[in-house]
Structure 1
């Protein structure tokens, strides 16, 4: 019976976190066939990129290309037999890696089929509907399944009282599902919000320069995974004991130094790999539409600053996409008269030259297409260049009917990002705020350049954090971890279920802290806690998770701790 087998998957799951992660990945992947197609395309893409790069660097004699008229004259016969041992080793390593990935994906088809049955027979969601159904619908199905099964349902108070039922029960609701799925990510949100890690380096004549990239993020994750966190993503209990602090700090410093050494060794390979992938991915797009080169996106570091507690990845990406249009409108708001004048001048020159070349080409195509305007460069080449310059410069000019109101547009951005540093308040119109925001929302070309630069400077950044910062990292995990019955260890900021006595005194009125150092040390920046709770309730609160049907105004959580 497929339905019984699918129900058995949930009731007998030894690791509920891993099971919920499978449920979530299946939802984000849009079902059985979409996931299979995505995995197949990923394998074929890796195979093509490696094979094509190996072919271009090994099997083509580029020296014969100018004097040759056919591909047979420039191709090297049995090229791999004549290749160096380094290329043959790279080929062998890639083949082993690719075959292992193929075997892993083939082995995962069975589990994927079981998850398909779970969605179809238990949750009542078919593959045709999974692309349009909301995540709330999936959570509702999980909660109903949890409450309907005798082995997972929470006994009523009478049963607990008369049977002495004391076993902590696994809870299931929207918050606990998010807690389990983001058990490790919630720590990272707090880690970046409190600026525990230092990603700056002193640059001559430039001062402190900030460097961050996905590669550096992977290095940090490598240092913390299977050390602070176990295989299930939960924090290890011995990391919470003060007596182990010195040993933990020394172990973390060793891991950071090892990661720095490893990043030095793999940096050349990563730089080549990133350049090849970026070239193959964006060359056609940029040549077809040169204005795409100026498109912007949030930097990896800005994404961690914007992300909120218990915010699942697909919800976070949706919030970022909603912010793109108002962010572009905001950056165009600030008058840039000098730049606009230069763009108009460049647009006029390039447009005039392109018009003359295009007109001459139309009058006598056969003669003019082969005519060299400059030595070795035909009219077609310069026509293409001038059109590209005209397109880029014209695209940088503001619309004639555009009205300047930067504060209004930035408020539209902040409505989506929920990121409002304290020093931005009442200063949204200033160029300083615009400079800070543009550093977070950069062009994709600059993000790629920073990715390459971060690969080079990553060892120094990791070594800087291997000093006193290691003590702060260990203290952070110990001081901001709580144990929740039925869930396990959690980052304290991710636990939204506060229970506060209405008659209890406000701790801020009892404790005399004129300097606010305690709040600064234990608290969060930029109202992250309030924004996280409000955003979570805004998405999930549709009358299902309220204790009563009466609509209540949102109340901020109490100060932590």
Structure 2
């Protein structure tokens, strides 16, 4: 009992100031009951590497728990061994002369499989120097992978224990919980057990900062064109290149490599925060990039061979069964950085891209070349005729297949027919490129300003193809990546070394309880807002500090709607309230116009839904089908219209289809206002409301783009349109020959202010580390 008393005194005497006055007295009999939970809590107190810990918590949820993660890791090891062993077996252990009957092996029976395989000893003797080197490198790589897998398994066990003991989430409950529910439990655990000791309470932004710290830097560097990912290729024009291998090298040299600018996962090296060392650091970084490029060049043959084997084993069977898979499209690796919001977690971003896949695919089918269509129809006719005859002969007598190259001819003919069919448009389709682009924008949220009104042009189509590339192009990029990546590192990225150093110095801030983060990820409107997207009084940023394409504004709105319990900073709150107030004014103006003039109302009325291809039906304007729901905003209750369509699962949202910019404005303001006003004063938001508000981001993005367009081009606003309608009504009721015929006032044009040119080649301003709570 004396040992228990000593243990109790040691636990309770280390910090008398934090002792709660309401703590009940504990007698000797209760000491053991008291010590057990304290030791359990202490296990999760002050986690040293919270970035890694929160990342593992997130991936544990997304990858469906401990068993799935371990099984996936082990099977990846087995898959690597299979690819290496099976490839070596095919290259060195098969007697292809016997297999293809190039030599007379025997005349008594058909050649068997064992007769086409060399004996084991002979197979080993056939190994040449190149094969031996490849096997040694593969073995070393596999051993490192094995060590990493064993390490990860122990980490997975730790996270599993954290879910069970701290978060109180069982294995059976995990598949049915959303990430927001897990995140809410995580914030509650911080209050009790202090995972982070630098802050009493964490918020949603702090967690996202730690999970997406380096990803936010990558998004910002792509947004500011710091990384050389766009190239002008002769005969091909502008193109982008960001293969998986190049992306791995960029992250290695910039973030987690031994010579990266970061001292650890959460702290930028002090040298990079000092402006007078910028040139020295740039030279050092350029030298490291050069050596990394040389290493990539030396390993190029091995990596290239691995790429060939891996892509062959992975896609050969798919291409055989579905040749049209090469004609399918995917969001490019560049698009996955360009279209991503700051602080947007993986699963939400992937779901958003998946919702935009349908309209994007249909949009790309609009553009056909008449000559190519004519040729495709005729080639498909010839190849189909040959295929039909050979298929008929096979049905009559199956011995036809034993004729040399008959099966090959049928396969090639079928492939040609499939490819030509993909080039022939549907004769019953009705194409509306501008409306489709609105549907795409509702989901991807980003597009250059010059796309607006030009979606029917090949220029916009080619630029959009950089974001939405053919899968065949993706496979070619991955195949050529070992060859192209060294050249990009040595001749393109190395020249950007000084710009990269300046970027880290100028756009890094220290946040209490989080560490060094990209300042763009703070979504500070005053510091990084763009005058095209916000009122000029709301931002103080010059051109160098402004995020492009509304990245700051759209990211803030997205994070606000997907994390409604997050308390907005003052400057961000002003921006959101300004958007909401403007939306309400526009709604009121449109309502008045519709009541005053029936013709105007019909002109901008919702368009009925339009089916656009197999499986891609897009919702109509939802105002007429809206249901009344009372929400609270600014302390006053008022009815707002929420579409019944949006009450389902988030993945079922297709997005609006619009007849005009004014039509999109009317309905997007309805949904934007409802989404913003749906944020109740309570700290708890149920998942249904959260899904609804997350879906409203599509309408918010459209409305914000509409406001940007109104700011950046001379146009008439809603009041101007209303005035015109009133004068037209008066004009229609007044004889044209009357001397008192009123003249319609001129529409006031608001010219765009010229932006001041700012030299951003080498900013010399001293970086200041700012601390915010």
Change (3 A) 1:65 1:357: closer
After TM superposition, the score normalised by the length of structure 2 is 0.63
1:188 aligned residue: 218
CA contact (8 A) 2:286 2:494 kept: yes
Q: Give, in angstroms, the shift of residue 315 of structure 1.
A: 1.9
CA contact (8 A) 2:560 2:566 kept: no
Q: Give, in angstroms, the shift of residue 499 of structure 1.
A: 9.0
Matched residues in 2 for 1:215 and 1:445: separation? 17
Residue from 188, 197, 204 that aligns with 1:174 = 204
Q: Give, in angstroms, the shift of residue 152 of structure 1.
A: 6.1
2:187 aligned residue: 143
Q: Give, in angstroms, the shift of residue 497 of structure 1.
A: 6.7
Matched residues in 1 for 2:327 and 2:61: separation? 33
1:121 aligned residue: 165
Matched residues in 2 for 1:497 and 1:524: separation? 10
Matched residues in 2 for 1:171 and 1:342: separation? 66
User: Structure 2 matches for 1:213-362, cutoff 5 A?
Assistant: 213-225=243-255, 226=258, 227-362=260-395
Q: Give, in angstroms, the shift of residue 284 of structure 1.
A: 0.6
- When Rg is computed on C-alpha atoms for both structures, the one with the higher figure is 2
Q: Give, in angstroms, the shift of residue 343 of structure 1.
A: 2.2
Give the secondary structure class of the aligned counterpart of 1:300. Answer: coil
Q: What does the per-residue CA deviation read over 1:106-130, in whole Å, with 9 as the maximum and x for residues that have no partner?
A: 3433332231122133223233332
Matched residues in 2 for 1:443 and 1:61: separation? 38
Asked if 1:529 is matched to 2:552, the reply is yes
Change (3 A) 1:132 1:510: closer
Which is worse superposed, 242-251 or 445-454? Answer: 445-454
Give the secondary structure class of the aligned counterpart of 1:297. Answer: strand
Matched residues in 2 for 1:347 and 1:2: separation? 76
1:131 aligned residue: 175
Matched residues in 2 for 1:152 and 1:118: separation? 11
CA contact (8 A) 2:507 2:518 kept: yes
Change (3 A) 1:223 1:130: same
Q: Give, in angstroms, the shift of residue 82 of structure 1.
A: 4.1
Which is worse superposed, 353-362 or 29-38? Answer: 353-362
Residue from 104, 107, 116 that aligns with 1:74 = 116
Which is worse superposed, 438-447 or 89-98? Answer: 89-98
Matched residues in 2 for 1:106 and 1:247: separation? 40
Higher relative contact order (CA 8 A, sep 6+): 1
User: Structure 2 matches for 1:507-546, cutoff 5 A?
Assistant: 508=536, 519-541=542-564
> Which segments of 5 or more consecutive residues in structure 1 lack a partner in the other structure?
154-166, 501-505
Asked if 1:112 is matched to 2:151, the reply is no
1:455 aligned residue: 482
Matched residues in 1 for 2:296 and 2:424: separation? 42
2:75 aligned residue: 41
Residue from 85, 90, 93 that aligns with 1:56 = 90
Matched residues in 2 for 1:202 and 1:327: separation? 24
Matched residues in 1 for 2:394 and 2:490: separation? 60
Asked if 1:490 is matched to 2:517, the reply is yes
CA contact (8 A) 2:523 2:552 kept: no
CA contact (8 A) 1:152 1:169 kept: no
Q: Give, in angstroms, the shift of residue 203 of structure 1.
A: 4.8
2:457 aligned residue: 430
> Which segments of 5 or more consecutive residues in structure 2 lack a partner in the other structure?
1-34, 106-110, 528-533, 574-630, 635-672, 677-699, 705-767, 769-773
Matched residues in 1 for 2:472 and 2:366: separation? 22
After TM superposition, the score normalised by the length of structure 1 is 0.85
2:134 aligned residue: 90
CA contact (8 A) 1:199 1:210 kept: yes
Q: Give, in angstroms, the shift of residue 204 of structure 1.
A: 5.1
1:387 aligned residue: 414
1:14 aligned residue: 48
Q: Give, in angstroms, the shift of residue 38 of structure 1.
A: 0.6
1:503 aligned residue: none
- Please give the root-mean-square deviation of Cα atoms over the aligned residues, in Å: 3.1
User: Structure 2 matches for 1:192-211, cutoff 5 A?
Assistant: 192-199=222-229, 203=233, 210-211=240-241
Q: Give, in angstroms, the shift of residue 508 of structure 1.
A: 4.4
Change (3 A) 1:205 1:290: closer
Which is worse superposed, 438-447 or 460-469? Answer: 460-469
CA contact (8 A) 2:44 2:195 kept: no
CA contact (8 A) 1:350 1:389 kept: yes
